[in-house]
Chains A and B, each alone.
Chain A
Amino acid sequence: MKTIKVVQRLIESIPLFILTIIAVFFLVRFMPGDPVDIMMGSGGNVTQEQIEQMRSQLGLDKPIAIQFADFVRGAAQGDLGYSITQSKKVTDLLVETFPATIELALAALLFALLIGLPVGIYSAVKQNSWVDRLSMGFSFLGISMPAFWLGILGILIFSVSLHWLPTSGRLDPTLELRQITGLFLLDSILTGNWAALHSAFTHLVLPAVTLGAELLAIVARISRSSMVEVLRHDYVQLARSKGLKETAVIFKHALPNALIPTVTVVGLQMGVLLGGNMIVETVFGWPGLGRLVVQSILNRDYAVIQGAVMLYGITFILANLLVDIVYTYLNPKISL
């Protein structure tokens, strides 16, 4: 039953997905600046002829409608074209960068939830204690601070001053790691490569903390306020009146209810994780999808932008679906 509904939801999101692709296809061509000019540079040693030749090679001289038809035909066969700046197939670029982005986003999400939820819950239960005041102060800072600046502070303190953590990349270049999933932490565990595990972890810490910081602050605040709200409810009092221990009252009766609004908010923040990674990946030279998008937008690398946005769209739709599934699992009032 649930599977049918999940499939139904996926089908429902197809029109939006197609609309996004069409919009992106035409929007990139509205960007000022010509990709071939940018690629060839503005120096005088390139002849007009060479430029024209390049344009026709890339199909950029054709009418826009034909270009679109070509794109759709290619995409249907799994061919998303070539990157003009990196001379690689777009699909290869996506396959290379996507796992890096997923690893970073998952690490950030985990960081935010594993710290944010306990802090929020504890603060709600011990309202106005010093832990509550301190953590709420910090989360207030967290929502008032640009992520990239936090990342730079992190680099300054932990890399430049203390030399504890590397400043960029995913893995020490001297290390070899056989890739299975593309998630370096997982791969190094699977292959028993402990040196790579250590290196991958130290590379991941700062970017993940930077990307997750805002979400952490949001999770702590929302879980605290929903917990405070829930603890006022009569059903908490009923649970106590049954003779339940206070810890059981909090974890069994209050927490599942407080998680419902928390999950809603985390779901809304999926965009922050996926959008924020463009900034964070740029700051930390993280070879992921976000940095790829920013670079290809700056370079007017049309095919890469299109492919990357498609992948973003799919990820976004799946992430939202996942949040909805978790939500229905938590809240018996809602079915998919």
Chain B
Amino acid sequence: MLDIKHLSVKFKTRHGMVRAVSEVSLHLDKGRILGIVGESGSGKSTVLNAILRLLPEKDVLLEGRIIYEGTDLFALSPQAMRAVRGKEISMIFQDPMTTLNPVYNIGNQIAESLKIHGLYRGRERERVLELMQEVGIPSPENRVLEYPHQFSGGMQQRAIIAIALACEPKLLLADEPTTALDVTIQAQIVELLRKINRTHHTSIILVTHNLALAADLCEEIAVMYAGRIVEKGPAEVILQDPRHPYTRGLLSAVPLPGITHGARLTTIPGTVPDLADLPPGCAFHPRCPLAGKECARLVPEPVEAGDRHVLWCWRELN
């Protein structure tokens, strides 16, 4: 249902063009959950914003194509694009505390999506209550007129999910939906996303820096580093048999339930490179334990490592 083909995103900055995303290609089938994993600054959120064309168009250059249900989103008029936003594809944001508009009550904000797209005319209130019920906000009748500051972080995130679900979108873009929440709340939100995926067959793209979360929820995982995908494949393959040194580094840096490394946790030496000043060749080579001469010269070509398992690394050729 969604095909991202050779997506590149360049930002115009004072220091010239900065490439935040390069040559990203991803595919998502209906009802599936795809995870994009990476550190902050890896460009993973930019990919999500590019899908909905939410990046400030005058400061950004988009290349490639994003095909949603047969239409090229980049070719749509602004008006047609607005009809997609919220109705076909909607988004869940990272920080619930700042995502709800503080001056409008919750019911108002959920109903707004319905009004924009002209759905549930005359039955907006019932639909809002139903949505609040569905995302697990207790006693919706009492809370529908409350303001965001009267909600806890977890309840705010549920309200945001309710906004996203209002028009029954086919695709949900979740940008770090649990990062700002307490651990117990995180688990509840994950369960909610899973439930939505199962009951409505809503496809989900989950962007996260949290490998364990991605492992828990996603069927496919793409790992991004410095604006490029370095490895992608079925979740269990990525977790059990990672082939890219960066993915391995990530995995050895976190304890994952059910996966034993046989060794203690390690961190990856060095730091994430500045997007404005990327090292030549493979952007990971300065931190890579396996880096060789070719890594510093050329950007790696994709390598098939198995069924639907692809990685971009010179050293994994053999």
Closest chain A CB from B229 CB (angstroms): 24
Question: Which of A136-144, A305-313, A328-336 sits within the interface?
Answer: A328-336
Give the A-B pair count, Cβ closer than 8 A: 69
* In the complex, B190 has a CB within 8 A of chain A: no
B residues 54-79 near A (Cβ < 8 Å) are 54
B residues 82-140 near A (Cβ < 8 Å) are 82-87, 90-91, 93-95, 98-103, 105, 112-113, 116-117
* In the complex, B147 has a CB within 8 A of chain A: yes
Residue pair A238, B101 in contact (C-beta under 8 Å): yes
A64 to B104, CA, bound (A): 57
The interface bits of chain B over 161-193 (1 if a CB of A lies within 8 angstroms of the residue's CB, else 0) are 001000000000000000000000000000000
Q: For residue B49, which residue of chain A has the nearest CB?
A: A237
* In the complex, A242 has a CB within 8 A of chain B: yes
A residues 237-277 near B (Cβ < 8 Å) are 237-245, 253, 256-257, 260
The interface bits of chain A over 226-240 (1 if a CB of B lies within 8 angstroms of the residue's CB, else 0) are 000000011101111
A239 to B86, CA, bound (A): 9
| Across-interface contacts of B113 in A (CB, < 8 A) | 242-243
A245 to B82, CA, bound (A): 7
Q: Tell me if A's interface is mostly helix, strand, loop or mixed.
A: helix
A235 to B163, CA, bound (A): 12
A235 to B103, CA, bound (A): 11
A243 to B78, CA, bound (A): 10
Q: How many residues of B contact A (CB 8 A)?
A: 28
Residue pair B86, A241 in contact (C-beta under 8 Å): yes
A10 to B87, CA, bound (A): 50
Residue pair B91, A241 in contact (C-beta under 8 Å): yes
Q: For residue A253, which residue of chain B has the nearest CB?
A: B101
A123 to B82, CA, bound (A): 25
Given A234-B95, A237-B54, the answer on whether A243 and B101 have CB atoms closer than 8 Å is no
Looking at the complex, which one of B99, B103, B163 makes contact with A234 (CB distance below 8 Å)?
B99
Residue pair A243, B149 in contact (C-beta under 8 Å): no
Q: For residue A237, which residue of chain B has the nearest CB?
A: B54
Residue pair A240, B103 in contact (C-beta under 8 Å): no
Given A240-B85, A242-B112, the answer on whether A332 and B101 have CB atoms closer than 8 Å is no
Closest chain A CB from B308 CB (angstroms): 30
| Across-interface contacts of B112 in A (CB, < 8 A) | 239, 242, 244
| Across-interface contacts of A242 in B (CB, < 8 A) | 85-86, 90, 112-113, 116, 163
A216 to B147, CA, bound (A): 32
* In the complex, B235 has a CB within 8 A of chain A: no
A239 to B85, CA, bound (A): 10
Closest chain A CB from B312 CB (angstroms): 30
* In the complex, B204 has a CB within 8 A of chain A: no
Residue pair A233, B98 in contact (C-beta under 8 Å): yes
Looking at the complex, which one of B90, B98, B149 makes contact with A333 (CB distance below 8 Å)?
B149
| Across-interface contacts of B98 in A (CB, < 8 A) | 233-235
Q: How many residues of A contact B (CB 8 A)?
A: 20
Q: For residue B173, which residue of chain A has the nearest CB?
A: A241
| Across-interface contacts of A330 in B (CB, < 8 A) | 103
| Across-interface contacts of B226 in A (CB, < 8 A) | none
Looking at the complex, which one of A238, A245, A332, A333 makes contact with B93 (CB distance below 8 Å)?
A238
Q: Which of B91, B103, B112 has the most CB of A within 10 A?
A: B103
A253 to B116, CA, bound (A): 14
Residue pair B93, A234 in contact (C-beta under 8 Å): yes
Q: For residue B149, which residue of chain A has the nearest CB?
A: A333
A residues 9-47 near B (Cβ < 8 Å) are none
Residue pair A332, B149 in contact (C-beta under 8 Å): yes
Q: For residue A259, which residue of chain B has the nearest CB?
A: B103
| Across-interface contacts of A332 in B (CB, < 8 A) | 102-103, 105, 147, 149
| Across-interface contacts of B116 in A (CB, < 8 A) | 242-244
| Across-interface contacts of A238 in B (CB, < 8 A) | 91, 93, 99-101, 160, 163
B residues 12-34 near A (Cβ < 8 Å) are none
Residue pair B100, A241 in contact (C-beta under 8 Å): no
Q: Which of A241, A253, A330 has the most CB of B within 10 A?
A: A241
Residue pair A235, B85 in contact (C-beta under 8 Å): no
Given A242-B86, A243-B87, the answer on whether A235 and B147 have CB atoms closer than 8 Å is no
* In the complex, B52 has a CB within 8 A of chain A: yes
| Across-interface contacts of A256 in B (CB, < 8 A) | 103
Closest chain A CB from B49 CB (angstroms): 8
A237 to B98, CA, bound (A): 10
Residue pair A235, B82 in contact (C-beta under 8 Å): no
The interface bits of chain A over 318-336 (1 if a CB of B lies within 8 angstroms of the residue's CB, else 0) are 0000000000001111000
| Across-interface contacts of B52 in A (CB, < 8 A) | 240-241
A-B contact pairs, 10 of them (CB 8 A): A235-B99, A235-B102, A237-B93, A238-B93, A240-B54, A242-B113, A243-B82, A260-B103, A330-B103, A332-B147
Which chain B residues have a beta carbon within 8 Å of chain A's beta carbons? 52, 54, 82-87, 90-91, 93-95, 98-103, 105, 112-113, 116-117, 147, 149, 160, 163
Q: A243-B85, A256-B103, A332-B105 are in contact. List 11 more A-B contacts (CB 8 A).
A: A234-B93, A234-B98, A238-B163, A240-B85, A241-B85, A242-B86, A242-B112, A243-B116, A245-B82, A253-B101, A257-B103
The 7 A-B residue pairs with the shortest CB-CB distance in the complex, in nearest-first order:
A243-B85, A243-B86, A242-B86, A234-B99, A235-B101, A241-B91, A332-B147
